Every structure is written in C-alpha cells, then in structure tokens.
C-alpha cells in the first residue's frame, strides 16, 4: 500500500502535507490539483508533516487536496535512446510535448519503449558479474551503448543465460542472473537510479592523469583541464560564459556531451537547439547532436526543477562513464541552481547563511562536484566524467558565496574579466586571476612531458610570468606616462601583449581559429615565447610599439591560416625574418 496524505499548507511551490504513514526524505509524491497530477519531492519531514517541493505551479491548489507518495526517490530512466534527446529537468522528452510552454502536470517517456535495438551479447552463461558489469551492447548513434547489470543489484551474480544476437525492445529480457541463494533475476536494457545518489559502481577512483583538449588556447596552453576533472567559469553578464561553454562542447575531446541549462534565458538555449543539429563533430565526422544530450530548464520553468536538472545531467553522465566513455557535463549556470536552493531554504524558514544562501551551500556544491572524476570500472576499463559549470555572480563580484563555495570544490578556475570583455579580448579569461591546480599534479606533469614536450609546465609558468610583468609595467606607464619610464618597460608590456593577442585571444566564429589543435598550440606558444625571451634594442617607445604591432598582426594572420598550409608557412617565414631584422 502506498502512503497517502492531504495538503495542509501552501507556501508558493512548497506544500505541507499531513501524511497517513511513513514518508522518507527525497521521496517522490504526486499532488493532485483537481484532475491535474503534479510531481513533487519531499525535502523535509517533521513528525507526520512532510514538506514537499512541487515541480509545477501550485496555483489553484487547495487545502485538503490528495497526495500520493511513491516510495522511491527522484529517478532517471537509463536505457538506449537517451543520446540526441532534449529533456527538461525531470527527464521529460521536450519534443513529445505540445505548445510553447510546458503544460502543468505534463509527463512524457524519456525513451521510446517501442523501438528495437540490435543487441550483441558480451557475457556468457557461467560468468561472474556484479553491478555495472557489461552483459551486451547495442549501437546508439555511433556510440556502443553497454547493457549493464543494474546499479541497484549490489550482490555478486552468475550469468544463467544471455539473449542471442538480434533485435529487442528495451523492456525485453536480455539476460537472467542467479544470486548466491539461487534466485533468478531478469535483466532488461532499462534501469532506474536516484539522481541525488552518486553511482559508485567502480573499483577505483584515481587522480586524473590525462589532459582533456578543448581547442581553446587560453585553457589548453595556460590552464589545462584534466580528463575527469572539475572547473568553473565565473564572470559578469555579457562576458562570454555561454559562448565559451558552447565552444568547448563543440571541440572537446569527449565521447558524450551533456549540456545542462539550469536557469539560463531561453534565447541562449535556443542557440544550442538550432546550432548543434547542423554542426559536424571534427573528431568523428558525425553530426554533433548525435553525441549530445540537452537538459533544458530555462529561467521561466519551475524553480524546483532547476535543482533536479543538474543532478539529472550528472547521473546520466555517470551512466555513460560506466560504459568506459569520456563524458563532459556542462552546467549553465550553477548560480541559478544555488538561487533555487536559496528559495527553497527561505520558504522552509531555515537559518540563512551569507546573502541568504543555505548554511550548507559549500557542502552541497562540494558533494555535487565530487561526483565527477576518472574511474576504473569493474572490468578493468576506465571512464570519466569531466564537469565544467558557469557562475553568474551579481555585479561580477567574485567574492560572493556561490563563487567562493565553488572555488573550494573545483580544481580549475576560469575567471572572465569585464575589462577584457569590454575591450573585445575574447575569450575574456583573465590570465592572472585564472588557474589550474592540475598543473601541480605529478601525473599531469608526466602526461604533458610525454604528450607535448618535456618541462612544458615550466614553459607555461614562464609565459604567466611575462604576462604578470607586463601588467606591472603597464601600471607604471599609466601612472608616469610614456616618456616617464625606460623603453624596457614598454618592451616588457608589449611582450605580454604579444602573448595575449596571439595565444590568449581566439575567434570563436572563425572556422580555423575557433579550434586550435594541441600541436599547433605548442608550436605557436614556443614561437611566441622564443621571441619574448630575446632582447631588442629600441630607440624609443614608439619604435617599440610599432615593431610589436606589426608582429602581432603577422601572428594574427597566421592564426587565421590553415595549419601547416602554404599560407601558414609563409607567415611563419615572414615573422622569423621580421624578428631577425630587429635583433641584428
């Protein structure tokens, strides 16, 4: 028998329910407003009173309306057919919904239960298996989708039988497992998992040891992101957070991309819907949308679903990670998620923390970020979830609670600068404020030494030093004037500008410059660094500025030239000659 209850109080989308039986934290229930059935989640239990957050508008709800508790937590459906889908925060398929806005109480199937998939067995009778062991596979788009022992089956099992190769629906039995007590368990291609529980079906979670290439020079060269790592992009409105995330999602070295729009404006999400189906993945040659899942919960959707959307995206990412795939989960923006937590906390009349955010905001963010990572699977393979979120601090204040709390959890910090954005220096990643703690990892250093060049990290820090010294020189020039400082100060400043214009700035709308391969980044960076390490002799600051402006222009044209093309090599020779004439 399911527990039932009646509405006893309403505070916006928080409903107080008098329950007739036992109710659990985070349990799902359905609140009936007339003939409309609305999903809700228990977020607090006090005696026989359950505080539930409703994922729809509570307008028209009355005291005494019926509530039915389901006996399980908020879950996602995991099965073939998830890729290329557009979901809301509760995994309802948006394409199956009618109208411009989602009607209250709308629920759709997350996958097509009538579709047939070509199943290929991987396990055989007599094999010993456990949760997340691979039983077979089907081809989903171009990804080999592994059919696994459900994550909820925590014991050891023996395979009794596996279905022969052929076409099956996701609800058909594809394997039968026998537990230690001799009971049989039928396994289909579908499983469910609560979104707020991390999937821990792996044998080891080592530290990240590889770099995830994004094609963005300001990230890959200066502050690399690790495969299975975490990072976030804070910045004021209009600084380019969404464009940068879109660029990374198009170019990143990942098998599956999950875009979570948790509270962004609808027009920014529409851009994803419009662009991604038309783009070709440069790594595979397939349509980019084939490896992408979009969790869309825009700012005009229910507040409570914002919180659910980030957990839904991460859970789907963990599912694909268990198949041995590299998954990139991107959330835009986690500030809206934190604001949803604040609204829930305030309506529950909890003791507020800084800026009225929940007292445990740091713990909530840290627990979520900890779900990303590189893992060793039960079969010996590896998979990874890399998480990159954006933060929209009010007024661009990077000291506000969400940014500060996220800083403690994330290992990469890509601070977008309003000044850089205003001067059209995109991506507006501040080279001095931003950092990657993965540069300190011995495993990452070893990887960079082997894959790119020995002592590469030392070269990165050398470039950062040049940029820092250039900023200090520019401060002196601004205070004392062009003639008030030695020419060496101008040379120091222009060397930092050379790194800025050639390496740190990139044109996301140019077909060539938008995606810079790591080999090209290495060559360009070493070339620029070699020039910066030379000593020039300038008569005055005007000669210095003219020389570097000409040099920057040649490098910019080189950036727009196809890698290793005749035009590219031509500009390289021009630069070498241009520099040699000044150093003679």
- Whether residue 104 is contained in a domain is answered as no
Number of domains in the chain: 4
Q: SS3 string of 206-274?
A: CCCCCEECCCCHHHHHHCCEECCCEEEEECCCCCCHHHHHHHHHHHCCCCEEEEEEECCCHHHHHHHHH
User: CA gyration radius for the chain?
Assistant: 27
| Mean confidence (pLDDT) of the chain | 92
| Residues 429, 488 within the same domain | no
Is pLDDT of 529 > 90? yes
Is pLDDT of 220 > 90? yes
| Residues 424, 378 within the same domain | yes
Q: Tell me if residue 342 falls in helix, strand or coil.
A: helix
What is the per-residue pLDDT across 353-384, written as a single tens digit (0 to 9) for each?
999 999 999 999 999 999 999 999 999 999 99
237 is in an annotated binding site: yes
Q: Which pLDDT score, from 0 to 100, does residue 100 have?
A: 66
Report residue 159's pLDDT band, with 50, 70 and 90 as the boundaries. Answer: very high
238 is in an annotated binding site: yes
Q: Which pLDDT score, from 0 to 100, does residue 294 have?
A: 92
Percent of the chain with pLDDT over 90: 77
| Residues 461, 428 within the same domain | no
Q: What average pLDDT score do residues 322-339 get?
A: 92
241 is in an annotated binding site: yes
- Whether residue 84 is contained in a domain is answered as no
DSSP letter assigned to residue 465: H
CATH number of the domain where residue 466 is located? 1.10.1140.10
- Whether residue 343 is contained in a domain is answered as yes
Report residue 224's pLDDT band, with 50, 70 and 90 as the boundaries. Answer: very high
Q: Which two tokens stand for residue 337?
A: 């998620």
- Whether residue 205 is contained in a domain is answered as no
Domain-ending residue, one of 189, 222, 256:
189
DSSP letter assigned to residue 486: -
Q: Which pLDDT score, from 0 to 100, does residue 340 have?
A: 87
Q: Please state, in angstroms and rounded to a whole number, the distance separating the CA atoms of residues 210 and 436.
A: 13
| Residues 53, 149 within the same domain | no
- Whether residue 221 is contained in a domain is answered as yes
Is pLDDT of 584 > 60? no
Q: Which pLDDT score, from 0 to 100, does residue 333 have?
A: 84
- Whether residue 482 is contained in a domain is answered as yes
- Whether residue 444 is contained in a domain is answered as no
What is the per-residue pLDDT across 427-475, written as a single tens digit (0 to 9) for each?
999 999 999 999 999 999 999 999 888 899 999 999 999 999 999 999 9
E strands in 263-407: 292-297, 326-331, 373-376, 382-391
236 is in an annotated binding site: yes
Evaluate whether 338 touches 360 at the Cβ level (below 8 Å): no
Report residue 228's pLDDT band, with 50, 70 and 90 as the boundaries. Answer: very high
Is pLDDT of 325 > 90? yes
Which residues are CB-neighbours of 297 under 8 A, at least 6 positions away?
A: 88, 89, 260, 261, 262, 263, 305, 306, 308, 309
Domain-ending residue, one of 20, 43, 72:
72
Evaluate whether 229 touches 370 at the Cβ level (below 8 Å): no
| Residues 185, 217 within the same domain | no
Q: Which two tokens stand for residue 20?
A: 């007739």
| Residues 347, 424 within the same domain | yes
| Residues 416, 476 within the same domain | no
Is pLDDT of 321 > 70? yes
CATH number of the domain where residue 118 is located? 2.40.50.100
139 is in an annotated binding site: no
| Residues 301, 363 within the same domain | yes
What is the per-residue pLDDT across 44-96, written as a single tens digit (0 to 9) for each?
999 999 999 999 889 899 999 999 999 999 999 999 999 999 998 899 998 88
CATH number of the domain where residue 46 is located? 2.40.10.170
Phi, psi of 145 (to 5 degrees): -85, 115
Q: Which pLDDT score, from 0 to 100, does residue 299 have?
A: 67
| Residues 498, 542 within the same domain | yes
Which domain range does residue 9 map to? 4-72
∠371-328-225 over CA atoms, to 5°? 85
239 is in an annotated binding site: yes
Report residue 109's pLDDT band, with 50, 70 and 90 as the boundaries. Answer: very high
| Residues 173, 243 within the same domain | no
Q: Are strands 175-178 and 184-187 parallel, antiparallel or unpaired?
A: antiparallel
Q: What average pLDDT score do residues 342-363 get?
A: 91
| Residues 369, 300 within the same domain | yes
Percent of the chain with pLDDT over 70: 98
CATH number of the domain where residue 330 is located? 3.40.50.300
Comparing 262-271, 331-340, 348-357, 407-416, the range with the smallest average pLDDT is 262-271
Residue 146's H or E segment, with its range, is strand 143-148
Phi, psi of 5 (to 5 degrees): -170, 180
Is pLDDT of 303 > 70? yes
| Residues 220, 179 within the same domain | no
């Amino acid at each position: 028998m399911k527990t039932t209850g009646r509405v006893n109080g309403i505070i916006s989308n928080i409903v107080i329910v008098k329950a007739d039986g036992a109710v659990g934290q985070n349990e799902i229930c359905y609140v009936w407003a007339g003939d409309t059935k609305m999903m809700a989640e228990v977020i607090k239990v006090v005696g026989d009173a359950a505080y539930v957050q409703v994922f729809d508008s509570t307008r028209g709800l009355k005291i005494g309306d019926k509530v039915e508790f389901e006996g399980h937590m908020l879950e996602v459906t995991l099965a073939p057919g998830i890729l290329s889908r557009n979901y809301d925060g509760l995994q309802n398929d948006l394409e199956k919904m009618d109208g411009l806005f989602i009607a209250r109480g709308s629920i759709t199937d997350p996958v097509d239960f009538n579709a047939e998939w070509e199943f290929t067995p991987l396990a055989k009778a007599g094999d010993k298996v456990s949760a997340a062991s691979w039983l077979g596979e089907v081809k989903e788009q171009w990804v080999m989708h592994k059919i696994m022992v459900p994550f909820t089956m925590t014991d050891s099992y023996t395979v009794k039988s596996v279905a022969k190769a052929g076409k099956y629906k996701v609800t058909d039995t594809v394997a039968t497992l026998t537990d230690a007590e001799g009971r049989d368990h039928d396994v289909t291609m579908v499983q469910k998992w609560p979104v707020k529980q991390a999937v821990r079906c792996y044998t080891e979670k080592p530290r990240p040891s590889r770099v995830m290439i994004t094609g963005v020079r300001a990230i890959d060269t200066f502050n690399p992101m690790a495969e299975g790592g975490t990072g976030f992009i804070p910045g004021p409105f209009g600084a380019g957070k969404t464009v940068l995330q879109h660029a990374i999602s198009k170019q990143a070295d990942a098998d599956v991309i999950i875009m979570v729009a948790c509270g962004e404006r609808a027009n920014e999400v529409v851009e994803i819907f419009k662009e991604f189906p038309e783009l070709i993945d440069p790594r595979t040659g397939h349509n980019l949308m084939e490896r992408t899942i979009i969790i869309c919960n825009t700012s005009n959707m229910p507040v409570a679903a914002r919180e659910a959307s980030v957990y839904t995206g991460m859970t789907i990412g963990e599912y694909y990670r268990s198949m041995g795939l590299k998954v990139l989960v991107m959330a835009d923006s986690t500030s809206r998620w934190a604001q949803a937590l604040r609204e829930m906390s305030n309506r529950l009349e909890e003791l507020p923390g800084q800026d009225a955010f929940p007292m445990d905001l740091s713990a909530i963010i840290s627990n979520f970020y900890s779900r990303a990572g590189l893992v060793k699977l039960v079969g010996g393979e590896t998979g990874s979830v890399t998480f990159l979120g954006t933060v929209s601090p009010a007024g661009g204040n990077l000291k506000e609670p969400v940014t500060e709390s996220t800083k403690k959890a994330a290992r990469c910090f890509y601070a977008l600068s309003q000044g850089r954005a205003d001067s059209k220096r995109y991506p507006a990643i501040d080279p001095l404020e931003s950092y990657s703690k993965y540069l300190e990892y011995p495993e990452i250093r070893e990887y960079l030494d082997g894959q790119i060049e020995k002592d590469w990290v030392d070269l990165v820090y050398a470039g950062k030093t040049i940029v820092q010294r250039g900023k200090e020189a520019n401060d002196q020039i601004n205070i004392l004037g062009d003639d008030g400082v030695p020419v060496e100060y101008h040379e120091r400043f222009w060397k930092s500008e050379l790194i800025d214009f050639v390496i740190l700035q990139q044109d996301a709308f140019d077909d060539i410059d938008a995606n810079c391969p790591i080999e090209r980044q290495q060559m360009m960076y070493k070339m620029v660094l070699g020039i910066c390490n030379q000593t020039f002799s300038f008569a005055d600051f005007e000669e210095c500025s003219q020389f570097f402006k000409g040099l920057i222009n040649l490098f910019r044209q080189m950036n727009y030239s196809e890698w290793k093309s005749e035009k590219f090599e031509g500009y390289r020779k021009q630069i070498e000659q241009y520099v040699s004439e000044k150093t003679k």
